[in-house]
Amino acid sequence: MSREKKYEAPLRAPVAVGGMDSSESGSYSGFFESAIAIVEAAKKMDIQLRLLGATAIYYQCPKSNLLGDLLKRRLTDLDFMTISKYVSRIPGLFSSLKFVPNERVNTLYGANRQIYSDPGNSRHVDVFFDRLSFNHVLDLTRRLDLDPVTISLADLLLEKLQIVKISEKDVKDVVVLMREHGLGDGSPGQLDARYVTKLLANDWGFYYTATTNIKKVRDYLEGIQSLSPADKELVTRRLDDLAQKIESEPKSFKWNMRARLGTRILWYTEAEDVEFRQ
């Protein structure tokens, strides 16, 4: 499996996305400021913490300033990834930032996921450990050093493509990411296509979900009236290129054996959201 090139650039200043009132709960600038403050606080405590989800995608896509408004994509929470060796130190980090823990969730599921909230602005924070285990498993234990603020671009893409019941907002996130970043070897600003194709060539279930979602994103593009023809063509070309690379990658024995069963048996894990299990 290939490794993306480690990006050593310092944390950049938050980017305000045009047209959104910073007082809104979905304000990009407010979310970026909060996210970077948390990452910087973690760094001071020698905790490796990286932003993921939609906020990470928009942080990595500063050229998409107006696109967020055109697609009417609001940000609603902050999600982070770290590794299990820091599990006992995360409560202290968020306590120092005046966040309140969800005691029930953190007690029952704290080794895999912890939840905190900021009573000052009703901001919700999820912290995941080692892996994103939603419909498929995305192991990030050895990949958090690739970017100083977020998980890698390729992992951000896979985070979205692994959702079996992908939502419109997740499709929009993929559009934004693919509009701004092309396929490459994982150098700064590029999606590591080799990493994506190798991972999917060893997991038929993940492959099936991801390729199905690539088609859904491609189809969705046609109906976005606010997206220019040039942008549609660019994203479509990049999606097609990625799909071709995925299909061309030699598949493992494990992949081929699972492919024989197809969708006759469940190919993904049903994800549960522990936040609302009160």
pLDDT the model gives residue 18: 28
> What pLDDT score was predicted for residue 21?
34
CA angle 32, 26, 232 (to 5 degrees): 85
Tokens of 207: 């492959």
Q: Which residues of the chain have pLDDT under 50?
A: 1-26, 274-278
Instruction: Specify the pLDDT at position 148.
Output: 95
**The pLDDT of residue 76:** 78
Query: What pLDDT sits at residue 75?
Result: 78
Task: Write out the two tokens for 22.
Answer: 């910073």
pLDDT more than 70, % of the chain = 85
Instruction: Identify each DSSP E strand in the chain by its residue range.
Output: 50-52, 78-82, 100-101, 113-118, 123-129, 131-133, 137-139, 182-184, 190-192
Q: State residue 25's pLDDT score.
A: 39
Confirm if 77 and 169 have CB atoms less than 8 A apart: no
Task: Give the model's pLDDT for residue 70.
Answer: 60
pLDDT score at 83: 97
Give 245: exposed, middle or buried? Use CB within 10 Å, 0-12, 13-18, 19+: middle
Q: Is 100 helix (H, G, I), strand (E, B) or coil?
A: strand
Burial grade of 274 (CB within 10 A; 0-12, 13-18, 19 or more): middle
Q: For residue 65, what pLDDT is reported?
A: 63
pLDDT computed for residue 192 by the predictor: 97
Residues 6+ apart with CB under 8 A from 18: 65, 66, 69
Residue 12 has a pLDDT of 44
Q: What's the pLDDT score for residue 68?
A: 61
* Of 144, 148, 121, nearest in space to 59 by CA: 148
Q: What is the pLDDT of residue 1?
A: 43
- Interatomic CA distance for residues 26 and 21, integer angstroms: 9
How far apart (Å, rounded) are the C-alpha atoms in residues 34 and 97?
Answer: 10
